[in-house]
C-alpha cells in the first residue's frame, strides 16, 4: 500500500511519532505541498493524507490509483469531496481531537479582551507606576463576565466546552444550533440566530464553514447586535466578512474582537482588521497544544487503518 502525506501539522523535531503509519505501507512524507505539485506527488499512491494542502477535482482526476483520503484535521473544505465521491473515494476527517483546547482558546481570547493581561504585563515591565503612593493602574476598562450573556453559534463539541466555561464564570449562555443537546438544557437557552445577535454581550463562533455560513457575520448581521458587543472567532475565518467587522470596530458597534483566524490566511498586509481598533489576533493556534496534535496524528492514522481493514470511519462524503 503506497501512502503519501502531502503536509503534516506543524511540529518541532521529534514531537510526533509517525511510525504507526509507516507500519501500514510505504509512506512518503512532505512538509508542504503547493497546489500545482499535488498530482505529481500523489502519483500512483492509493492513500493520501493532508493537513492544509488542497486536493481539488482536477488533481483527483489525475490520480487514478487514489482510493482513500484522510484529512489531518476537522475542516475538509480544502478537498473536493464531491469529486472524490464521484470516483468512489471516501474522505475522512478527524472530528474530535482538540475540543477542550479549542474551547479553552476561545475563553483565552475573551479574557484578553476583558482583562488585557498582555498589555499590562508590558507596562509593568517598563516599571510604570500610577504615582508614588499607588502602584495600581489600568488603561482599559476591566470587564466582569458574571451576569453577561454569551451567545454561541454552533453548540457542538467545542461550543459545549466554551459554554461550560462561560457558565462557570456566571454568564448566561444562549445558543443557536440545529441539534439541541438535552445534557446542556440546565444552563443553555436555545434561541434563533436573530435573537442570539440581539441579546448577546459576547458572541462566539463555533460552527463549520459551509456555503450557507460563509460571510454570515456581515454588516447586516452586525446591525442586529447589541452596541459594544464582543466577537470571538476561533472557528473558520470565512464566517466573517473582515471589512464589515473592521468598520464595526472603528465605529464602536463591536467593542472588541478576538480572532484566531481570518478569511485569508496567513493574514494579508491589506486586511483592514490590521488597522482596526481593539482586535486581538492569534495565528490559528487553538488546535496547537501538543496533546491535541498527538491525538490528531493518531486519529488520522486510525482512519487509514480502518480503511485498509475495510471499514472506513469518520467519512464526510457519500460514496
The cell numbers describing 192, all together, are 434563533
104 and 77 in a common domain: no
Number of domains in the chain: 2
**Domain housing 146:** 99-281
Q: Identify the CATH number of the domain in which residue 220 sits.
A: 3.40.50.720
The cell numbers describing 317, all together, are 462524503
Question: What is the percentage of the chain residues whose pLDDT exceeds 70?
Answer: 100
Judge whether residue 151 has pLDDT over 90: yes
Phi, psi of 96 (to 5 degrees): -150, 65
Phi, psi of 221 (to 5 degrees): -65, -45
- Catalytic residues, which ones? 236, 265, 284
Q: Considering the domain boundaries, does residue 315 fall inside one?
A: no
* Confidence label for 193 from pLDDT (cuts 50, 70 and 90): very high
Query: Which pTM does this prediction carry?
Result: 0.91
Asked if residue 266 has a cis previous peptide bond (ω within 30° of 0), the answer is: yes
Give start and end residues of each alpha helix (H) in the chain. Answer: 19-22, 38-42, 57-61, 81-86, 99-115, 117-125, 157-168, 193-199, 219-223, 242-251, 290-308
Cα distances (angstroms) measured from residue 179 to each of 10, 73, 175, 221:
33, 23, 10, 22
What does the mean pLDDT of the chain come to?
96
> Average pLDDT of 204-213?
93
243 and 191 in a common domain: yes
224 and 132 in a common domain: yes
236 and 116 in a common domain: yes
> Average pLDDT of 257-268?
97
Q: Considering the domain boundaries, does residue 314 fall inside one?
A: no
229 and 131 in a common domain: yes
Q: Considering the domain boundaries, does residue 313 fall inside one?
A: no
Judge whether residue 131 has pLDDT over 80: no
Q: Considering the domain boundaries, does residue 258 fall inside one?
A: yes
270 and 125 in a common domain: yes
CA distance linking residue 47 with residue 81, whole number of Å: 15
CA distance linking residue 209 with residue 188, whole number of Å: 23
CA distance linking residue 298 with residue 309, whole number of Å: 16
Amino acid at each position: 500500500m503506497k501512502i503519501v502525506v502531502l503536509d503534516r501539522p506543524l511540529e518541532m523535531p521529534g514531537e510526533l511519532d509517525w511510525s504507526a503509519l509507516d507500519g501500514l505501507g510505504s509512506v512518503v512524507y512532505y512538509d508542504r505541498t503547493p497546489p500545482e505539485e499535488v498530482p505529481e506527488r500523489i502519483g500512483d499512491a492509493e492513500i493520501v493524507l493532508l493537513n492544509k494542502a488542497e486536493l481539488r477535482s482536477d488533481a483527483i482526476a489525475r490520480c487514478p490509483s487514489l482510493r482513500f483520503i484522510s484529512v489531518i484535521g476537522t475542516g475538509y473544505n480544502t478537498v473536493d469531496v464531491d469529486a472524490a465521491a464521484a470516483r468512489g473515494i471516501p474522505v475522512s476527517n478527524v472530528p474530535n481531537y482538540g475540543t477542550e483546547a479549542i474551547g479553552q482558546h476561545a475563553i483565552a481570547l475573551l479574557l484578553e479582551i476583558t482583562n488585557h493581561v498582555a498589555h499590562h504585563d508590558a507596562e509593568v515591565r517598563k516599571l510604570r507606576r500610577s504615582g508614588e503612593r499607588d502602584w495600581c493602574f489600568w488603561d482599559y476598562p476591566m470587564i466582569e463576565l458574571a451576569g453577561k450573556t454569551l451567545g454561541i453559534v454552533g453548540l457542538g463539541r467545542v461550543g459545549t466546552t466554551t459554554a461550560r466555561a462561560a457558565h462557570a464564570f456566571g454568564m448566561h449562555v444562549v445558543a443557536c444550533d440545529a441539534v439541541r443537546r438535552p445534557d446542556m438544557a440546565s444552563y443553555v437557552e436555545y434561541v434563533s440566530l436573530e435573537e442570539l445577535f440581539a441579546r448577546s454581550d459576547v458572541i462566539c463562533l463555533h460552527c463549520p464553514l459551509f456555503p450557507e455560513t460563509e460571510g454570515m457575520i456581515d454588516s447586516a448581521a452586525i446591525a442586529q447586535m447589541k452596541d459594544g458587543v464582543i466577537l470571538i472567532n476561533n472557528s473558520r475565518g470565512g464566517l466573517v466578512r473582515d471589512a464589515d467587522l473592521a468598520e464595526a470596530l472603528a465605529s464602536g458597534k463591536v467593542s472588541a474582537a478576538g480572532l484566531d483566524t481570518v478569511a485569508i490566511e496567513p493574514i494579508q498586509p491589506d486586511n483592514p482588521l490590521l488597522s482596526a481598533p481593539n482586535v486581538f489576533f492569534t495565528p490559528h493556534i487553538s488546535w496547537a497544544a501538543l496533546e491535541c496534535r498527538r491525538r490528531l496524528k493518531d486519529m488520522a492514522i486510525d482512519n487509514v487503518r480502518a480503511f485498509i481493514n475495510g471499514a472506513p470511519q469518520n467519512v464526510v462524503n457519500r460514496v
